[in-house]
Amino acid sequence: MRRIFGILPTRLWYESVELPYEEFPVPERAMILVAGEGVTPGKGDRIRSGERIRSAGGAVMGFSPVTGEIEECLDIRWSDGEVYTGLVVATAADEWELPITGGEYLSQSPAEVRSLLAEAGFTVPAAGERVIVSCLERDLLVSTARQALRGGDAAAGLRLLEHLGAGEIVVAVPEDLAEAAAAFAGERVTVVRSYHPYGMAPLLERECGAGTVLGIEELLAMVTALRTGRPFCEKLVTLIDRGGRPVKNLRVRVGTPVSDIIRAYDIPVEDGDRVVLGGPLCGRSISRLDFPVLVDTDAVLVQGHDDIIPIGEGSCLSCGACVRVCPYNLQAHLLSRYVEFSLFERCEDLDIDSCIECGLCAYVCTARRPLVQFIQFGKRELARIKEEEAQEEEEEVTA
């Protein structure tokens, strides 16, 4: 990686190219990924678009993006280590079971609108809360936020936030989109540095001030839900070919298998290649090509085996590159060592939970250690240890 004056690392700029945009057809078979096991409806049941999917205890776990018969219920282990239920649906023409009634929402009270959005599965900023509407990407090579801003009714999104009683509203944009945003947001526009990781929520708060960060696509999905009654069931996705070449943006039904997308655009996947949900720094590789597009999937990236940098098996060289590049000055080299040797409590002393997993430390690591994966594992183990300690304390109190 080239360095400025031999000291400062080169900045990794977000994509600024306008990509062609296409609607992707509903797949013949979709997979709905739901947290937990024992969800309903189940195998053999017919499900409708927008229908609630519930846990064994009756809690709403999500909404079906498609209509059809559930052929299989699979146990799917995702990269966070948790087991999810994958409902494989043979799709048919949409029959909607709308979770809310769509219509003229601005004539309703803010409390009523909040209730409708919560019923449709959205997390709504509290009244009086400062809201940062992000029009920046969360990773490199992605251009979904740009597409949402260009092609959506962003002005309606701001009117919705005003109606809900939001406090100050800030529209965060890269410099080249400032003029387009000013056309509907006026003085609310704040230009943010358009290089990674400033499109991630914690850095946006640091640049724009504390508040709730709401992606432009999610805000537009709220407007759509209130107008039509439909939950968030379509996602903008940037398709990235081998060699880091963004191909185009697609509007994809959530649950669409990744294999359908790469096959439709004749992108070969060979032995040793890697397929990633997300961009090159924050994305997560998948172990099966029928893995579905999720509500937070911004990209589908295919890496040829020749482009994959092998993970180093050696020890940390203590070069300090990871510390210099970290936006929070965390000591990723020490965190990775502590996790490697199961010294999880020491990670807490080094503020491991402040890591935003932007991937810069692993990108610059001289020894090519999987620093982000070490930190992710350390966070999960710390959470597990604390949960076990809390349970033990509770048992001692009740004994």
pLDDT band at 10 (very low <50, low <70, confident <90, very high): low
pLDDT of residue 104: 93
pLDDT at 367 over 60: yes
**Mean pLDDT of the 330-336 span:** 96
Q: Which amino acid is at 241?
A: D
Share the mean pLDDT of the chain. Answer: 93
Per DSSP, helices labelled H in 58-134 are 110-119
Q: What pLDDT does 1 receive?
A: 41
Residue 20's pLDDT is what? 82
For the chain, count helices (H), then strands (E): 12, 18
- Say yes or no to pLDDT of 350 above 50: yes
- Average pLDDT rounded to a whole number, residues 21-50: 94
Half-sphere exposure (CA, 13 Å, Cβ side) for 334? 12
* % the chain with pLDDT above 70: 97
> Which pLDDT belongs to residue 5?
43
pLDDT bracket for residue 9 (50, 70, 90): low
pLDDT in tens, 213-254: 999 999 999 999 999 999 999 999 999 999 899 999 999 999
* Cβ neighbours of residue 64 closer than 8 Å, sequence gap 6 or more: 32, 47, 48, 49, 50, 51, 53, 89, 233
Q: Write the burial class of residue 8 (CB in 10 Å: 0-12 exposed, 13-18 middle, 19+ buried).
A: exposed
pLDDT digits (tens, 9 = 90+) for 152-183: 899 999 999 999 999 999 999 999 999 999 99
- Asked if pLDDT for residue 25 goes beyond 70, the answer is yes
Where residue 2 falls among pLDDT bands split at 50, 70, 90? very low
- Stretch 275-285: mean pLDDT, rounded? 95
The pLDDT value given to residue 18: 84
What would the pLDDT profile of 371-386 be if each residue is shown by its tens digit? Answer: 999 999 999 999 999 9
**Closest residue by Cα to residue 285 from 255, 256, 305, 313:** 305
Q: At which residue do the structure tokens 């890496």 appear?
A: 303
**pLDDT for the residue 304:** 92
Residue 7 clears pLDDT 70, i.e. is over it: no
The label of the residue with tokens 């993970």 reads 311
Arithmetic mean of pLDDT, 55-80: 92
Distances (CA, A) of 391 to 83, 117, 385: 22, 34, 10
Compute the distance between CA of residue 225 and CA of residue 368 in angstroms, rounded to an integer: 44
Q: State the pLDDT at residue 213.
A: 97
Q: How does 177-198 read in b/e, with b if 16+ C-beta sit within 10 Å? A: bbebbeebbeeebbebbbebbb
Q: Please give the Cα distance from 21 to 370 (Å, whole number).
A: 34
